[in-house]
Amino acid sequence: MSPDGLPTPELPETFDVLVHPAQSLSGELRAQPSKNYTTRYLLAAALAEGETRVVGIATSEDAGAMLRCLEDWGAGVTLVGDDAVIRGFGAAPRAGVTLNPGNAGAVARFLMGVAALTQDTTFVTDYPDSLGKRPQGDLLAALERLGARVSSNGGRLPLTISGPVGGGPIQGGTVEVSAGKSSQYASALIFLGPLLPRGLDLRLTGQIKSHAPLRQTLDTLSAFGVRFSASEDLSRISIPGGQKYGAGRVSVPGDYPGSAAILAAAALLPGEVRLGNLRENDLQGEREAVAVLRQMGADIVREGDTLIVRGGQPLNAVTRDGDGFTDAVQALTAAAALAGGETTWENVSTLRLKECDRISDTRRELERLGIHATETADSLSITGTGKIAGGVTADGHGDHRMIMLLTLLGLRADAPIRITGAHHIRKSYPLFFRHLEALGARFEYLPTDVH
């Protein structure tokens, strides 16, 4: 169904998208459910004993990957409308199971932590050139220090994780893990901690990346009745052992990372767009995208959980530390590409470790569209232009965030832009194109074998 409730034709399983320039965007949408909270709530529900209803889950590929893996581990999963009812396995996932999280990096890492409760859980992926290349060594080393047994392909998938020889759980205790590359390693250990007899005294080393996702993980523990304490900078997190996740009912908030793309699109074109289901005090770091767009000159006001964008205002360049809102950087890059001056996103080295290298690959795609961009090891700078020629084919790099960026640029181009592999948008925002169509955008969906 379309966002307005009317039937819409099914999209091909794989497709390119031809983005037509748009004159304006107007209308009202409800933000999709948060991908990050959906995966966290689903895992916590499986770690509870009893039945939990997760209300309003995301329908992304990441959510599907988590549900599939939890079922393989022995959880009961029933989908009821937009909700998921989970019958948890508590601290006893099945042994000897092979899990395939697809291309969902956070899902894979969260499950790797819990795998220390099992014997012989093997992780594989059918995305060897994406998730298969992403490093897991820091997390695996921390699990080994806690007493788990690990075998891997040089710290990458495929890999197998088991508890101690002879069965029984690892005990827990004090362990360090680097937070310099990803917060997901720490989140994986946090989910494991309450179920260990001795709990977990987690010490994060290096420059901590992405505080906001860590706070979302801790917020999930609170929602399921798990006790913990944490230093203000999150460098030390203590979780008492022998706890249980509490079954019950939780509601998924709206998704700020995907909504950043809708808000940026609305700011770039004339019209008025209202986007609901976005809590003002949400812990998602990408909530900062609203402040960034306002700083650039966008007209955005809030009415409760609804953001109202009156688009078409001139935008100006900014320089910002992007570490707190990494999953919104590419959407905001579209705004930067059409803003006056040079915008720089600083402290974003973790973007190189995503589905593609979101610094170098983004620079190359911008240059393909005639937009000047430069990079350093941990920054990306974009010089705004008043004109995007279009009429080219851009590479989506199999990356949902890249596809969002290129789509937004296509809406402002002088001629259509074709984006390859646009079906990868399903990883986080399956209704992205449909939502933009509801606001007045126009796309053509082309089978990937047509050139």
Whole-number Å distance between alpha carbons of 14 and 420: 10
Q: What sign does the CA torsion over 357, 433, 368, 325 have? A: negative
Closest CA to 257 of 351, 343, 209, 325: 325
State yes or no: is 327 an active-site residue.
yes
Residue 205's beta-bridge partner residues?
A: 178
* Pair of tokens at residue 81: 């409308």
List C-alpha distances in Å: 211 to 179, 240, 372. 10, 22, 31
Q: Which residues contact 238 (CB under 8 A, 6 or more apart)?
A: 199, 200, 201, 202, 228, 229, 230
Whole-number Å distance between alpha carbons of 106 and 134: 11
Element (H, E) at 425: none
Catalytic residue among 62, 327, 361, 395: 327
Closest CA to 252 of 387, 60, 445: 60
List C-alpha distances in Å: 236 to 101, 191, 233, 283, 442. 29, 15, 8, 19, 49
Strands (E), 2-73: 15-19, 27-30, 51-55
Closest CA to 32 of 395, 224, 281, 284: 284
Whole-number Å distance between alpha carbons of 227 and 195: 12
Give the residue numbers marked as catalytic: 327
